[in-house]
């Protein structure tokens, strides 16, 4: 895959590739403007020390360590998605090198963006499998980097829940794009395949039905609301950033399925331009974010456009006044 990706980027496009690229309507195909990722995978070898030893650089051969190679491939898929769908060149829009450290800690049950790079635990094998497995988890963490370089949303309360939701939105869109699934065929799950066998659940979160992803003695029940009526006021989890993100997550699901077609094309573009457009305050709350998505949709598709109507309805559907 590395070789193929390199060849595609450095050689002139064939007619078939030209056509393939044309399926993304956002930019004119231009081989000379192709962006190229610069990935490094590092290995913490079971310690909680960053950044760890470099084990695979851009263009390097597969290592045979499934976790290393998966991290490399999913970084590539995520980079390719932002280029193809929104013509974005990496996390900062200017080709920032992508660094991921794997095998972080022992039985470490999480993955995160630390402000500079992505970090993945192997999971404990009892509740969680390796966090490098699901593509949307990599998409989620890398999107935290994009948010940091753009709207820089405070990681607390409603702004934090929006920060979390944007990572879920683009994490899911990357997976949908990779699988070529239109909105009505996608599972809208985050972290499907991450839960070990025997855990009663399907994923970490569900954008389609927040609150239904798992219910297991070891994990508790998925705490996400999908409507403002069930907004959770808590000081835990940075004011519920991974909890109340269910509300804007579900709004995105409603907008994307209301519009129809491929979610990354229209609904995704509205959310992407809202995130990167420079109009959001770092402490923006749900209502102001919703208003901004409606403005963005109006600009892209017309104030009376069906797409804009779907965005308005989506926020109304989760009890947020846009
Ligand atoms: N996986 C989590 C996230 O990206 C880690 C965290 O809460 N910082 O949101
Ligand atoms: Zn997150």
Nearest to 148 by CA among 290, 50, 292, 276: 276
Q: Report the pLDDT value the prediction gives residue 9, as an integer from 0 to 100.
A: 36
Ligand 1 center–CA 32 separation, angstroms: 36
What gap in Å lies between CA 198 and CA 217, rounded to an integer? 11
Asked if 2-133 and 157-317 have one fold, the answer is no
Q: What is the mean pLDDT of residues 111-121?
A: 98
Residues 6+ apart with CB under 8 A from 92: 145, 149
Token output for 206: 């569900």
Q: Report the pLDDT value the prediction gives residue 302, as an integer from 0 to 100.
A: 98
Q: Report the pLDDT value the prediction gives residue 184, as an integer from 0 to 100.
A: 98
Kindly list the distances between the CA atom of residue 190 and the CA atoms of 167, 288, 316, in Å, as whole numbers in the listed order: 10, 25, 23
What CATH number has the domain spanning 2-133? Answer: 3.10.170.10
Please report the atom of ligand 1 found closest to the CA of residue 237: 7
Q: Which residue has the tokens 């997550």?
A: 249
Write the DSSP assignment of 134-201 as a string of letters.
Answer: -HHHHHHHHHHHHHHHTT---SSHHHHHHHHHHHHHHHHHHHHHHHT--TTT---EESTT-BPTT-SB
Take atom 8 of ligand 1 and give the residue whose Cα is closest: 112
Take atom 3 of ligand 1 and give the residue whose Cα is closest: 112
155 lines ligand 1 (CB under 6 A): no
The set of catalytic residues is: 141, 242
Best mutation site among 242, 243, 245, 246 for ligand 1 pocket (most ligand atoms within 8 Å of CB):
242
Take atom 4 of ligand 1 and give the residue whose Cα is closest: 112
- In the predicted model, is pLDDT for residue 7 greater than 90? no
DSSP secondary-structure letter at 252?
H
Q: What is the mean pLDDT of residues 125-136?
A: 98
pLDDT digit string, tens, across residues 31-66: 457 999 999 999 999 999 999 999 999 999 999 999
Residues 6+ apart with CB under 8 A from 304: none
Rounded-to-5 percentages of helix, strand, coil across the chain? 45, 10, 45
- In the predicted model, is pLDDT for residue 167 greater than 60? yes
Q: Report the pLDDT value the prediction gives residue 205, as an integer from 0 to 100.
A: 98
Measured from the alpha carbon of residue 112, the closest ligand is: 1
Nearest to 157 by CA among 92, 248, 219: 248
Q: Report the pLDDT value the prediction gives residue 30, as an integer from 0 to 100.
A: 52
Best mutation site among 104, 108, 110, 243 for ligand 1 pocket (most ligand atoms within 8 Å of CB):
110
- In the predicted model, is pLDDT for residue 13 greater than 50? no
Q: Report the pLDDT value the prediction gives residue 32, as an integer from 0 to 100.
A: 52
Token output for 312: 């308005």
Q: Report the pLDDT value the prediction gives residue 25, as an integer from 0 to 100.
A: 43
DSSP secondary-structure letter at 230?
G
pLDDT digit string, tens, across residues 223-235: 999 999 999 999 9
Does the ipTM surpass 0.90?
Answer: yes
Distance from chain centroid for Cα 109: 19
Take atom 6 of ligand 1 and give the residue whose Cα is closest: 112
pLDDT digit string, tens, across residues 224-268: 999 999 999 999 999 999 999 999 999 999 999 999 999 999 999
Token output for 193: 């395949």
- The CA-based diameter of the chain, rounded to the nearest angstrom, is 56
Q: Say which CATH architecture domain 157-317 belongs to.
A: Orthogonal Bundle (1.10)
110 lines ligand 1 (CB under 6 A): yes
Q: Report the pLDDT value the prediction gives residue 15, as an integer from 0 to 100.
A: 43
Ligand 1 center–CA 298 separation, angstroms: 32
Domain assignments of the chain as residue spans, ordered by start: 2-133, 157-317
Three-state SS for 119-143 is EECCCCCCCECCCCCCHHHHHHHHH
- In the predicted model, is pLDDT for residue 24 greater than 80? no
């Amino acid at each position: 895959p590395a070789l193929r990706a390199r060849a595609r980027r450095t050689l002139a496009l064939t007619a078939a590739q030209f056509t393939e690229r044309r399926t993304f309507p956002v930019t004119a195909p231009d081989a000379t403007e192709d962006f190229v990722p610069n990935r490094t995978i590092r290995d913490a070898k079971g310690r909680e020390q960053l950044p760890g030893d470099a084990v695979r650089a851009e263009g390097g051969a597969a290592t045979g360590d499934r976790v290393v190679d998966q991290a490399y491939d999913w970084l590539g898929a995520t980079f390719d998605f932002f280029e193809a769908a929104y013509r974005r060149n990496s996390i900062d829009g200017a080709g920032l090198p992508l660094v991921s450290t794997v095998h972080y800690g022992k039985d470490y049950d999480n993955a995160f963006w630390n402000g500079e790079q992505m970090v993945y635990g192997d999971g404990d094998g009892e509740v969680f499998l390796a966090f490098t497995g699901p593509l949307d988890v990599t998409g989620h963490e890398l999107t935290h980097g994009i948010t940091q370089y753009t709207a820089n949303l405070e990681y607390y309360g409603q702004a934090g829940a929006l920060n979390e939701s944007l990572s879920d939105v683009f994490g899911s869109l990357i997976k949908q794009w990779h699988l070529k699934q239109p909105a009505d065929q996608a599972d809208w799950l985050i972290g499907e395949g991450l839960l070990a066998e025997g855990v009663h659940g399907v994923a970490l979160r569900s954008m389609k039905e927040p609150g239904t992803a798992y219910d297991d003695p070891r994990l508790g029940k998925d705490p996400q609301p999908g409507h403002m009526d069930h907004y959770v006021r808590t000081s835990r989890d940075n004011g519920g950033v991974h909890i109340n993100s269910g509300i804007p997550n579900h709004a995105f699901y409603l907008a994307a399925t209301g519009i129809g077609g491929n979610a990354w094309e229209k609904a995704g573009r509205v959310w992407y331009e809202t995130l990167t457009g420079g109009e959001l305050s770092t402490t923006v709350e749900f209502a102001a974010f919703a208003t901004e998505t409606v403005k963005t949709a109006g600009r892209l598709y017309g104030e009376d456009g069906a797409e804009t109507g779907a965005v308005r309805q989506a926020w109304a559907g989760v009890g947020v006044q846009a």
